[in-house]
Copies of this chain bind each other. A is one copy, B any other.
Amino acid sequence: MKNWVYSFGKGKAEGGGDSKEILGGKGAGLAAMTRIGLPVPAGFTISTETCDYFYKHGKKYPGELRGQVLKALTRLEKVTGKKLGDPKSPLLVSVRSGSARSMPGMMETILNLGLNDRSVAGLVAATGNERFAYDAYRRFVQMYSTVVVGLSKEHLEEKLRAMKTRQKVKEDTDVSAAGWKDLIAEYKAYFQSKTGHAFPDDPKEQLWGAIGAVIGSWMAEKAVTYRRVEKITGLLGTAVNVVQMVFGNTGDNSGTGVCFTRDPSTGEKIFYGDYLVNAQGEDVVAGIRTPMHLNEMATRMPQVYKQLDKVRGTLERHYRDMQDMEFTVEDGKLYMLQTRTGKRTPAAAFSMAVDMANEKLITREEAVQRIQPADIERLFYPVISAKTGKDGMAVKPIAQGINAVPGAAVGKVVFTAQEAEEWVARGEKVILVRRETSPEDVGGMAVAQGILTATGGKTSHAAVVARGWGKCCIVGCETLDVDSAAKIMRAGAETVREGDWITLDGGEGVVYLGQLPLGNPTMPKAYATLMKWADEIRRLRVRTNADTPQDARKAREMGAEGIGLCRTEHMFFTDFEQPEKSHERQRAIQEMILADNREDREKALGKLLPFQRRDFIGIFKAMDGFPVTIRLLDPPLHEFLPHEAGKQEELARELGISAEKVARRVEQLHEANPMLGHRGCRLAITYPEILEMQVRAIIEAAIECQNEKVKVLPEIMHPLTLDEKEMRILEEGTRRVADEILQKAGVKLPYLVGTMIELPRAALLAGKIARVAEFFSFGTNDLTQTTMGLSRDDAGRFLPDYVDEKKAGVFREDPFQSLDIEGVGMLMEWAVKQGRATRAKLKVGICGEHGGDAESVKFCHKLGLDYVSASPFRVPIARLAAAQAVIEGKQGKKKR
């Protein structure tokens, strides 16, 4: 017979004991604490498997459940010497949820169960406190009515307020027993009127009602949403913990508290917590009275404090991690009600992990595993430090978008990149708001405090560019109606005009109207230590995606070991070192595109050459001794031309051609699906002169750097290839130019020629392409787009439904965020295998956005990739994940 119910009490606990999967976090903690001899009230746990069974069998319990619960109840009555519903010495229990992962406040709890008109007398007798007993009874009726039956909480609260008014008292604590009795009667009458039957007096009926409510709450909308948002999957369900009630509210020798074995904010090894005298747990949560700090408790209740401090040590040694504990003191006696691994700030996570490793409580590998990727990310970004504006001004949220890049930003709204640059030039701080951004906007994006777009997902242009800079960015804010021409945006009823202040919370994706104060997180000392440990463990190299010398330097600071993706197209828009030259660059590329023949194109490209060369020199210097992978021109040419008539005319005037010609060229370049159009290496096939100019710039820059004793390792990368012959044309074109320059200069310089693998066909034919390519770099953004037939710019319309567990729930995560291992991963695995079969020393990396996603990095480690490349601010995440992958790999091997 399957066991659905696990009892604990008097130093013994049934079953596996601390299996969180089966008992839930709370149940496992209670069982464990019981077994290691800590003071825990007795009780039993209905397993998560019961919940699983329930939902898999048309909401029916397993047949054996009733018998097992009754048996466990009998045992509980024996251990406690009390009986449920007993008019003399009634057993009261709490019924609480508890799944394997903490979901605070998401599921239901019923306290004081077992009270009825008869047993309440026993509670009066046992405590000698009628007011207390009827208060407990009233609380139970209220909770049961709302939680189990779903009656209106507001309505019941209203009755309470009315009663207090009648009784002319202010605080609940001032209500007399009679008052509570009246209220109970009122509640019950209301219950009868709403449900058509009497409030259940039978404690067993109450118990089953409560069990049903807890299990039912597992599928309540808020719980489902929480799991989705927190990406909690794979759980069986919630357990139900039925535990003898202990009361912290029986007088001043009682109380309840929450404590942490270390400071969850700083990680410091101090005993940290709060204690509230004469109170029940819910009072602490309600935050009505101010609790005392544990230090004060040490003075006031030295005995209990000492006992608690001992428990602290026992639990931390047992769990080998910081614990978050709940306890109650009933008439001077300590009861531990819960223990779980405590949540902590990112800074505390680092400090504790390093401290515990130094204390030998855990190993360094365990310390590395204790850090979550999100901890690192949050460590670097500014945060909103208060939710009220300057001078106490009201600041209100006006829109919710996708949290593309965390952090926070405050600035005045501008609607065009050009205005952003102008406003910043005169000393303003701006937030650039666009429907969507394009490469033309990069200059304005660079100077803005933050970026907000109405469309796009986490890998849209805005998101990718902003992430590269660690710049706060919210995208896909679909409720925004952005009218750049009119210089306004509408967000629901609000109209925001150019120059209005807004604040972006990039971590939450919330847009506030007004100015909120920002603060910088402090960097814990432990960060450097822990990352050093991670670096010692990992095998995978970590590079960065960087397009400018500035980015390259930043990435080096973040620990990047080279550049995995240097996109050359941004260089055609913006001169990051001499912004006044940006216009000249843009004109040159535009002139190239508008040229009618190769000769004119070459002339225009000649103007770009010195710019590109200068950029490459800066980048090579920043990456002295590390490899730099440079991707040749990738985006479709229409992205470089203005689409608005006014700007087209301006361009035409400057180039001395007709506006009609510009318009015609733009029209010619228009594509139905630019993502699948004339871009990538297809441009180099059509216009070899572009390839030639770029290779020239790279090699000339490399020679110049080498002459200055900078160690240069250029890797020239062709985007969007799909065939061996195509790759051979590109490779030959590249080598012809490069070798000629090197020969003329009489210089030896090692360089590699390779390709992105970003089309399914390239992955499928990787074995052949590797005959020519010396390295592969998976462009998993585009590979995801093509493999799944998903445009990342458009997927915002339906992808949320695909990720939403309550809707289609097809994907566990947005495949643009975390690699689709099942599909795209299969292609990658094939490509690595085939590529290496052809060329054993083929260098393989990844440079899509996934290079900064921990799960994806771990997959890359498993595939045997040589490196991952992430945006500068995600480099530490990749370093950590790469180390964790090694550790998990070892554990996996051990398990097998």
The interface of chain A, by Cβ under 8 A from chain B, is: 671-678, 680, 682, 685-686, 720, 722-723, 725-726, 729, 758-761, 764-765, 782, 785-791, 793-795, 797-798, 801-802, 807-811, 820, 822-824, 826-827
Contact = CB atoms under 8 A, between A and B. Distances in A.
Contacts of A782: 789
Given A673-B675, A761-B789, A685 B794 contact: no
A641 to B, nearest CB: 15
Nearest to A729: B808
B674 A672 contact: yes
A793 B677 CA distance: 9
Contacts of A725: 808-810
Nearest to A686: B798
A478 B826 CA distance: 40
Contacts of A765: 822-823, 826
Given A685-B802, A794-B671, A810 B676 contact: no
Q: State the copy count for this chain.
A: 2
Contacts of A798: 678, 682, 685-686
B760 A674 contact: no
B791 A677 contact: yes
Contacts of A680: 789
B822 A722 contact: no
Contacts of A678: 794, 797-798
A720 B789 contact: yes
A785 B676 contact: yes
A490 B729 CA distance: 37
Contacts of A686: 797-798, 801
A810 B726 contact: yes
Contacts of A789: 675-676, 680, 720, 722, 758-761, 782, 786
Given A674-B794, A798-B682, A787 B810 contact: no
B823 A793 contact: no
Contacts of A811: 723
A676 B823 contact: no
A673 B794 contact: yes
A478 to B, nearest CB: 9
Given A782-B789, A788-B761, A808 B685 contact: yes
A723 B801 CA distance: 14
B760 A786 contact: yes
A236 to B, nearest CB: 19
A823 B722 contact: yes
Contact of A791 (B671, B722, B726, B795): B671
A758 to B, nearest CB: 8
A592 B723 CA distance: 44
A807 B729 CA distance: 10
A437 to B, nearest CB: 12
Contact of A823 (B758, B764, B807, B820): B764
A676 B794 contact: yes
A759 B824 CA distance: 12
